[in-house]
Amino acid sequence: MITTLALILFWLSVALMFHSYVLYPLLLQLFAIGKKENEIVFAKQEEQLPDVYVVFAAYNEEKVIREKLESIFNTTYSLSKVKVYIGSDNSTDGTNEIVNEFAAKYTQLTFVSFTGRNGKAGVLNKLVNSIKQQGIDEVNSVFIFTDANVMFTPEVIFEMVKHFKNEGISQVAANILNKGEKQDGISVQEKSYIQRENKTKYLEGLNWGSMMGAFGACYAMRASEWKEIPPNYLMEDFYLSMNVLSKNKKAISELKAVCFEDVSNEIEEEFKRKTRIQAGNFQNLSAYWNLLFRFDAVAFCFLSHKVIRWFGPVFILGAYAANILLLPGNWFYQCTFVLQNLLLVSPVLDIAFKSVGIHLTILRFASYFIMMNIALVKGFAMYVKGVKTSAWNPTKRNLPPTP
């Protein structure tokens, strides 16, 4: 009886992880055969192009904010239809001075310097509320949310906004490309992960219009679909994305809408960021768990792409515990046990090799995978304790990732 239960636990855990990380992306590619991208789009010179509001929060971003603003205003989209709203969350460096410099040059830019830390969600809520109080045409206006360290290409605004001619589409994500990878850290692994996520989200949108969460780095949504973000929320991008899908509206990704972001290289910095993300993921699961019981494409994508991964540590530990019970006299499970132990100690091995100047890509991928799952555990603990604030410190910025 115990052996049977151990077999079920082991193979169920392995199957679920295999489905989420391997089978699901393959199924998306299979389902996408013969599918066409949205063809109901605005022409570039069309007079009815929507008004665009680029909105973002900034905290101590003096290293990148100048290049960010230059990239926004260097757009092929008519500047007469573009307004920029920036909220500085009590920045203490030169961020405010740089933004004020641009505000003096561009009348389209509205800058609000907040006192005290409001957190990203708090800043966005206040900025959007101030825009809506102006009595804008929400049906024919678009919000573009972005981050300070994400550089626009000249076409990115149009490439996202063009899709809103299709009344069924309510959210469009940009294609975030990364630069600056190095072999001595985790930037290669982080870049590979983001590229894989970009492709997965694109295919979800192509197949069913059910893209599982736009990257907060840059995405567009109809102003009419805005929903105020709850206090102390850490993943407002996913919250807004799931709100769109909950109303049976479509969310897609546009590969031509290219932005550039500097890729993280320091594991300590990335671990802290991933922990916040995971805490935010559990906040969103508590808000949108009911979508899993719609038994439609959204539920399939939500379970396969997100929920299974969020419970990855449970499946890893479940497979490990079951494997121990299956060890006696079985060479196959003895081999899988050795492989699991190598996977679990991969961070220690990676640190040891790194200390002598050896960088093994495969080993670092394994270490990166374990690090993400440890961040899940820590993020879950952070969620259970209660998230007290959405205030953040930006990860270490390198030189601006100019295209």
Per-residue pLDDT, 155: 97
CATH number of domain containing 189:
3.90.550.10
Burial (0-12, 13-18, 19+ Cβ within 10 Å), 81: middle
Tokens representing 89 are 């969350």
Q: Find the mean pLDDT for residues 274-292.
A: 94
- 311 part of a folded domain: no
- 310 part of a folded domain: no
pLDDT tens, residue by residue, 300-342: 999 999 999 999 999 999 999 999 999 998 999 999 999 999 9
Q: Pick from 239-248, 269-278, 346-355 the range whose average pLDDT is largest.
A: 239-248
pLDDT tens, residue by residue, 110-168: 999 998 888 899 999 999 999 999 989 888 999 999 999 999 999 999 999 999 999 99
- 2 part of a folded domain: no
Task: Classify the C-alpha dihedral 142-147-148-154 as positive or negative.
Answer: negative
The values of phi and psi at residue 116, to 5°, are: 75, 160
Helix (H) or strand (E) holding 267: helix 267-288
Q: Find the mean pLDDT for residues 357-376.
A: 87
Q: What is the pTM of this model?
A: 0.91
d(CA 62, CA 44): 33
258: helix, coil or strand? Answer: strand
**Is residue 353 predicted with pLDDT exceeding 70?**
yes
Tokens representing 171 are 């959210």
Burial (0-12, 13-18, 19+ Cβ within 10 Å), 126: middle
d(CA 113, CA 125): 14
Which residue is associated with the tokens 């010179």? 45
Tokens representing 348 are 């220690």
pLDDT tens, residue by residue, 60-99: 999 999 999 999 999 999 999 999 999 999 999 999 999 9
Tokens representing 289 are 């768990």
The values of phi and psi at residue 123, to 5°, are: -65, -45
pLDDT tens, residue by residue, 157-194: 999 999 999 999 999 999 998 875 555 566 677 778 88
pLDDT tens, residue by residue, 380-389: 999 999 887 7
Q: Find the mean pLDDT for residues 54-63.
A: 95
Domain extent for 86: 51-266
Tokens representing 200 are 């997965």
Per-residue pLDDT, 265: 60
Number of domains in the chain: 1
- 202 part of a folded domain: yes
Contacts of 225 (CB under 8 A, 6+ apart): 170, 171, 240, 243, 244, 247, 249
Per-residue pLDDT, 241: 96
- 353 part of a folded domain: no
- 283 part of a folded domain: no
Of the chain, the percentage scoring pLDDT greater than 90 comes to 74
- 43 part of a folded domain: no
8 Å CB contact between 108 and 55: no
Per-residue pLDDT, 110: 96
- 341 part of a folded domain: no
Per-residue pLDDT, 400: 47
Task: Please name every residue paired with 210 in a beta bridge, in sequence order, or none if there are none.
Answer: 251
42: helix, coil or strand? Answer: coil
The closest alpha carbon to 283, from 140, 355, 384, 357, belongs to: 384
